[in-house]
Amino acid sequence: MSTLASGGEMTPAALASRVLSLSCFHRISQEDYRALLRHLLKLDHINRTENGGLIVGLAGERIVNSYKFYAVFRENVEYTVRSGSEQLGTIVKPPPVGDKIAIAGRVWVVEEVDHQRKDVYCTLVKGNIPAYFGDVAGDIHTRILERMRLVLAEDTQYPYLMRHAACRLADARDVFGKSRMSERPLVPLGGRMWALFPWLGSYAFLALERFLKRRCAGRLGLKGLNASRPYYMQFTMQADEAAFYDIVCEEAAAELDPLELVYPNEVPVFEKYDEYVPPELVRKGFALGVLDTDGMRRRVLSWERYRKTAE
């Protein structure tokens, strides 16, 4: 739309040559480009002239004439959280359907997210359940998590730490050693409850969370997975430790389409301009451009060495 606004009327082919040649669009296929044009035409964001050219539509003009459209960073948009006719409060960047949020002193499960009206519909969850309190500021790289693990595994003393911080680090190292987290990522919590510490960054962790739910849950008998992203996740499962490593390694070694990790009917609005993109391309962009599926699979396949030791 910004190209049409600055350059005036263009044929679809001319617009494609201008847009698809940009580095940020190097992975966009002609088929995806046509789907985007059809969607923008449907929304009146662009219009087709009598000569077959494309121009900015009436709805599109209101968008491109706003300074917010060209801003590098996406502004925080508040969503109203509702349960039936009751308004519970507001939240920024709501979690996907099925996740839980803590608001109004209670925990709620997200049933539907309406990005057009900026509404989140949820129902009350009973019991004491970990919940979503909002996104962590910034994205955490896998190397940061790996360094955190190394800090816990080593006995190096850092002279710049204050006394209280040094004591907290000593306590964390003690728990790390006693729980045998240095030897394996899966830690028993008693009964059929487990905690998994994959030491993965934000997007690889998110891919692993979805991988376990979408590809492994049935075979593992996995239920009640709750994640504290990107640090650890808790769940119950019918499988034992050895079976866990067998199953997740087998599934990670098999062919995996990243789109399988997107929930049915989910439209994960993640990037600033996703609201102008057709849902099928939003899903594809999230699966291929946000989720670090390759990093997740490498980490899971590295757990192969635990298969025999867990038996």
Q: What is the mean pLDDT of the segment spanning 39-65?
A: 92
Among 39-43, 54-58, 98-102, the range scoring the smallest mean pLDDT is 98-102
Burial 196-235 (b: 16+ CB within 10 A, else e): bbbbbbbbbbbbbbbbbbbbbeebbebeebebebbbbbbb
> Do 214 and 174 share a domain, yes or no?
yes
Once rounded to an integer, what is the mean pLDDT over residues 263-280?
Answer: 86
Model pLDDT, residue 311:
61
Q: What is the rounded CA–CA span in Å between residue 189 and residue 249? A: 22
Q: What is the pLDDT of residue 136?
A: 45
Report how many domains make up the chain. Answer: 3
Of 43-57, 156-170, 217-231, 296-310, least confident by mean pLDDT is 296-310
Same-domain status, 210 and 229: yes
Examine the fold and report which residue of 48, 70, 92 is the final residue of a domain before the chain moves on.
70
Domain boundary among 70, 86, 103: 70
More confidently predicted of 116 and 294: 294
More confident residue, 175 or 104: 175
Are 232 and 107 within one domain? no
Residues 121-166: tens digit of each pLDDT: 999 887 555 444 444 445 899 999 999 999 999 999 999 999 999 9
- Whether residues 188 and 279 share a domain: the answer is yes
Largest CA distance in the chain: 75
Average pLDDT over residues 282-288: 93
**Could you tell me if residue 175 is inside a domain?**
yes
pTM: 0.79
What is the C-alpha separation between 237 and 63, in angstroms, rounded? Answer: 49
244, part of any domain: yes
157 and 294, same domain (yes or no): yes
Distance CA 31, CA 28 (A): 8
Q: Which is higher by pLDDT, 38 or 270?
A: 38
Is 163 within a domain? Answer: yes
Same domain for 296 and 188, yes or no, is yes
The end-to-end CA distance of the chain, in Å, is: 59
pLDDT single digits (tens) 230-240: 999 999 999 99
Residue 296 lies in a domain: yes
For residues 92 and 80, give the distance between their C-alpha atoms in angstroms, rounded to a whole number.
9
Check whether residue 31 and residue 173 sit in a common domain: no
Whether 132 is covered by a domain: the verdict is no
Which amino acid is it at 303?
Answer: W
Distance in angstroms (rounded) separating the CA atoms of residues 247 and 306: 12
191 and 89 belong to one structural domain: no
State the average pLDDT over residues 3-32: 90
Residue 77's pLDDT band (cuts 50, 70, 90): confident
What is the helix (H) or strand (E) element at residue 113, kind and residue range?
A: strand 106-114
Assigned domain for 131 exists: no
Same domain, 91 and 64: no
Give the range of the structural domain holding residue 22, as residue numbers without chain letter: 2-70
Specify whether 302 is located in the same domain as 175.
Answer: yes
Q: Are residues 20 and 91 in the same domain?
A: no
Same domain, 40 and 119: no
Burial 246-277 (b: 16+ CB within 10 A, else e): bbbbebbeeebebeebbeeebbbbeeeebebb
